[in-house]
Amino acid sequence: MSVNKLALIRYKTIDDCLRNRYRKWTLDDLIEKVADVLYEMEGITTGVSKRTIQADIQVMRSDKLGYNAPIVVVDRKFYSYSDSEYSITNAPVNQADVEKMKEIVGVLKQFNGFTYFDEMSDMIARLENNLYRTENQGRNCIQFENNHLLKGLEHINPLYQSILQKKSLLVEYKSFKAAASQHIICYPYLLKEYRNRWFLIARAKKRNQLLTMALDRIIEFQELSKEPFNDHDGIDFDNYFDNLIGVTKNESDKAIKVVLFVDKFNAPYVLTKPIHHSQQLLKQDEQGIIIRIEVVLNFELEREILGFGECMKVLSPRILVSKIQRRLNKAMQGYEPEA
């Protein structure tokens, strides 16, 4: 059984609602939410009928699409999943939909190579490889960097929709350093990936500052329909991260010229794969190379430098020289024999 576009949008919206444990959903609530999403995504102003949503719920409960969704009615009124970990996105894709996706990938491949589609090349290859593996178990023609244990990837699409539609959010977040989670009212602006880990860039309502929240540390979130959205006036996110390595940055941080020595054995790697797009070669001799990058001083920069170990040395600025020296000394202490 193949699924048309509008039906898929409805199923996904119902799924997003039932996975939201913060709120109790009546049938009328689901109808209203689906109608809002159809309007936002497709411009449909006629809404959606009660009979359609009831039929959608029955399809999701059944095996017709392989969902077998554990949808229950609590107190004869509120719909939810009996399994808090369930989502239709975890269900297998049927053969009819695989064939349809193969057709779509075929169309995308025709445009591959055009400038507008340059950044889609790896995505097209990833889609084609996944579809090929569906029909040829165990055969893998291309491998991408992936962390199968990474949490929070299920948040990407709903957060993207919240950003697109400018929806304020209530986020339950627990950082690695915090003893307990906290609830934050914020305005989402951007999703950013760094080294196969995803982050939400948002502004906190009470502190009026930009937050960088790792998606794997987000426990739950919900849209706040009555909270006015505060836009990111004055911030150009297309260029906001140009002057740093990673994602850690305050709005007031300025880029600093960092000069590094790289020995001759590692110089070819740094020259062919620059540490940062601002990298410039200042000197090259038989000992190695001296390069300069212009970046914000942050944790990710330090980790990048430390990753080269004895093969890289910070020449300036002095504050970064001292930081790296302290961290290397502390690391060395860990290898000293106990008295």
- The domain spanning residue 207 has which CATH number? 2.30.30
Predicted local confidence at residue 202, as pLDDT = 94
Predicted local confidence at residue 106, as pLDDT = 74
**Residue 74 sits in the same domain as residue 104:** no
CATH of the domain at 85: 1.10.10
Among candidate residues 135, 167, 192, the one where a domain is terminated: 135
Q: Is residue 237 part of a domain?
A: no
**Residue 53 sits in the same domain as residue 77:** yes
Burial 92-127 (b: 16+ CB within 10 A, else e): eeeeebeeebeeebeebeeeeeeeeeeeeeeebbeb
**Residue 78 sits in the same domain as residue 107:** no
- Estimate the share of the chain in helix, then strand, then coil, as percent rounded to the nearest 5: 40, 20, 40
Predicted local confidence at residue 1, as pLDDT = 43
**Residue 216 sits in the same domain as residue 199:** yes
- Tokens found for residue 239: 């260029």
Mean pLDDT by 10 residues, the chain (339 residues): 75 90 89 90 88 94 87 92 86 68 72 63 71 64 67 84 91 88 93 90 88 92 90 86 91 94 96 96 96 96 95 97 96 85
* Domain count for the chain: 4
**Residue 266 sits in the same domain as residue 300:** yes
Q: Is residue 281 part of a domain?
A: yes
Q: Is residue 339 part of a domain?
A: no
Note down the domain range covering 83.
5-90
Three-state DSSP class for 300?
helix
Task: Give the list of residues 6+ apart from residue 128 with CB closer than 8 angstroms, or none.
Answer: 105, 109
Rounded to the nearest 5°, which phi and psi values hold at 39?
-70, -45
Rounded to the nearest 5°, which phi and psi values hold at 237?
-70, -15
Q: Is residue 196 part of a domain?
A: yes
Write down the pTM of the prediction.
0.69
**Residue 119 sits in the same domain as residue 67:** no
Predicted local confidence at residue 154, as pLDDT = 81
CA distance 21 to 117: 38
What DSSP state is assigned to residue 118? G
Distances (CA, A) of 41 to 17, 29, 119, 165, 315: 17, 18, 23, 9, 52
Q: Is residue 338 part of a domain?
A: no
Predicted local confidence at residue 35, as pLDDT = 92
Q: Is residue 233 part of a domain?
A: no
**Residue 107 sits in the same domain as residue 39:** no
**Residue 217 sits in the same domain as residue 274:** no
**Residue 163 sits in the same domain as residue 108:** no
User: What is the distance of C-alpha 316 from the center of its chain?
Assistant: 34
Predicted local confidence at residue 95, as pLDDT = 66
- Tokens found for residue 190: 């951007």
Predicted local confidence at residue 40, as pLDDT = 83
**Residue 157 sits in the same domain as residue 125:** no
